[in-house]
């Protein structure tokens, strides 16, 4: 499943819609180059999951837990695996995947450590045009399921289809 996201605001709206339907045990892996919108998506996802604190890049702490303001919703664990050198380093974080929602940037090579099923969201931005990573250009978002993640794929895919990104 693939869709064009026209603006950063729309990327955040898509993240919000998916976060709103996320459940404990969901693992979302975000991949794409610098400036593709991974953290923008994660920020919206956290808002949809009703986390207490704004999601920002956890680059210097690798993983950050964001408790939900709603006691019936799981916390969000936001991971930035950019500096990790191996799957073992991710495993050492000892993330309780069953009781939280994980959104992990740069973790595609290590996703199997977190779970035997996950959703990968690949984000691509246009290349060229001066290399301005902050410009508000359309991004291509592609959603792919790995392992037996059918339920999560159906929920997140339906949320993606339910967002009218042309309005943002």
Q: For residue range 4-41, list pLDDT tens digits in order.
A: 998 889 999 999 999 999 999 999 999 999 889 999 99
Report how far apart, in Å, the C-alpha atoms of 29 and of each of 69, 77, 105, 142, 164 are.
Answer: 23, 12, 6, 11, 23
Domain CATH number, residue 43: 3.40.50.300
Instruction: State which residues form the domain around 137.
Output: 2-167
Check if the beta carbon of residue 52 is closer than 8 Å to that of residue 65.
Answer: no
pLDDT of residue 61: 77
pLDDT tens per residue, range 32-79: 998 899 999 999 999 999 999 888 876 677 888 999 999 999 999 999
Q: What is the pTM of this model?
A: 0.88
Whether residue 167 is predicted with pLDDT greater than 50 in this model: the reply is no
Q: Tell me how many domains the chain contains.
A: 1
């Amino acid at each position: 499943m693939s869709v064009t996201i026209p603006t950063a605001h729309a990327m955040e709206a898509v993240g919000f819609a998916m976060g709103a339907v996320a459940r404990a045990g969901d693992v979302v892996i975000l991949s794409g180059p610098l400036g593709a919108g991974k953290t923008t998506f994660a920020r919206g996802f956290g808002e949809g999951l009703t986390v207490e604190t704004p999601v920002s890049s956890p680059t210097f702490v690798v993983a950050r837990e964001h408790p939900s303001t709603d006691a019936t919703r799981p916390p969000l664990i936001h991971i930035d695996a950019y500096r990790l050198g191996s799957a073992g380093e991710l495993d050492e974080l000892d993330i309780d995947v069953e009781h939280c929602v994980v959104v992990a940037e740069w973790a595609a090579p290590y996703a199997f450590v977190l779970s035997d099923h996950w959703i990968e969201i690949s984000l691509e931005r246009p290349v060229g045009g001066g290399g301005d990573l902050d410009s508000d250009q359309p991004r291509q978002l592609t959603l792919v399921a790995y392992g037996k993640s059918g339920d999560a794929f159906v929920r997140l895919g339906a949320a993606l289809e339910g967002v009218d990104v042309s309005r943002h």
